[in-house]
Every structure is written in C-alpha cells, then in structure tokens.
Amino acid sequence: MPFTALPAPKCPACKTSVYPAEQVMAGDRKPYHKGCVRCFQCKITLTPQKLNNRQDQLFCNICYEKFFNPSDFSIDYYGGIITPEDIERQKEKERLEKEKMERMLNEKRCPVCSNKIYPEGSVIVSEVAFCRPCVKCIECMRAFDGKEMALGPPGDANPKPYCKFCFAKVFGISALNITEMVMIAPEEMILTQGL
C-alpha cells in the first residue's frame, strides 16, 4: 500500500494551507498562520488572554464585548427605546473617558498601556506621548516614529495610532499637515497652481 500524505489543514482566516512548521493553535484548536491570529474587526494581534472565537472569526475582548455582549444601550447597538437615563449614562461615560485621557496626558502616561512615560522612551504622535512599544499602526501593525503617525478616529475620546497611509485609507482624510504641504511644495508652486 503506497504512502499518501495527508493534505494540510486550511487556515480559517485566509483559507490557505497551514503546514505544521508555521501553525499556531487558536479558536477551537484549529490551526492558523501566526500572522492570521488577529481581531476580525480591529486587526490587532491577539494573545491567548485576548482571544475570543465566534463562527471561525477571532475577536479581541473589546470587540467581542462590543458586538456580542453589549452592556450599555445606545443607538449603535440597541434598536429599542432609549430613555433619558440611557443618554445621561452615555454622556457620563464619554465624560469619564475624556477625563481619563486628560489625566494620562497630564501624568505623562501612555494612553494604550497606561504605563508611566519617560522622555527618553517616549514617542510623540499628534502632541500625545506614547511609550515606544505601543506606537504601532492599528491597521498594518508596523512600528514608526511619531512623525509618520496620526491619531484617529477624528473626534474620538480615546484615539488610536495609525500610519498616515492607513489613516487616509480608513478615514478618507489626508493626514498631511499644512506645514508639511508648505515644505513639500514651495510658495511659488502653491500660488501658481492654486494648491
């Protein structure tokens, strides 16, 4: 009887073969590529503590709670009657998040991990200080220094770092500052071309 190799199992995230040397077990003991173990919604890399599985899709704790176990009622997640108490509760929650962000800025704490930031180990992104390991684009997960980063979504109480390319792709807004535009295009070009 001839030997026949078993076909490699398929990664549920990218639907390609996962070979034993590159597989990582996640979500119901199914093999994934190491790079495919990311949140389905926000695309952050997942650890065993943050991993939640729902119908072969992996979610971080925050996204899983937000979509499948909503604890508060708002227009986004609840289609029923919204009472004045619900609106007041939501405003209070937003106020507390804003105060927390301001407190972290005043205490020089990283908004991502809440650790104390020291000048030699910090990276400044849009006037907000982050510790160096936390400065990664939330979309492409590449590490940058502060100049190529932007915070988003615009107007959010707890913004997340994006590289300028992903920021423009996700929000449809260019992250170039007008000062960068002036440095790129001299004043004569701006006046002649109407930029």
For residue 92, the model assigns a pLDDT of 93
Would 2 be classed as within a structural domain?
no
DSSP string across 96-157: HHHHHHHHHHHTTB-TTT--B--GGGEEEETTEEEEGGG-B-TTT--B--GGGEEEESTT-S
Same domain for 142 and 116: yes
pTM for this prediction: 0.36
Query: Residues 28, 2: contact at Cβ < 8 Å?
Result: no
Same domain for 114 and 177: yes
Same domain for 120 and 44: no
Residue spans of alpha helices (H) in the chain: 61-68, 84-106, 164-171, 178-184, 187-193
Same domain for 93 and 43: no
Residue 195, pLDDT > 80, answer no
Would 13 be classed as within a structural domain?
no
Same domain for 189 and 150: yes
Mean pLDDT of the chain: 76
Would 12 be classed as within a structural domain?
no
Would 99 be classed as within a structural domain?
yes
pLDDT in tens, 21-79: 888 888 778 888 888 888 888 888 888 888 888 888 888 888 888 888 766 555 555 55
Mean pLDDT along residues 180-187: 49
Mean pLDDT along residues 150-173: 74
Return the CATH number at 144. Answer: 2.10.110.10
Query: Residues 144, 117: contact at Cβ < 8 Å?
Result: no
**Percentage of the chain with pLDDT > 70?**
75
Same domain for 174 and 123: yes
Buried b (16+ CB within 10 A) or exposed e, 121-131: ebbebeebbbb
Would 157 be classed as within a structural domain?
yes
Same domain for 57 and 128: no
For residue 182, the model assigns a pLDDT of 44
CA distances from 57 to 24, 43, 88, 112 (A): 15, 12, 34, 24
Would 14 be classed as within a structural domain?
no
CA distances from 69 to 42, 52, 88 (A): 17, 12, 21
Same domain for 115 and 103: no
Number of domains in the chain: 3
Residue 178, pLDDT > 80, answer no
Residue 185, pLDDT > 50, answer no
Token pair listed for 66:
């937000």
Boundaries of domain holding 128: 110-195
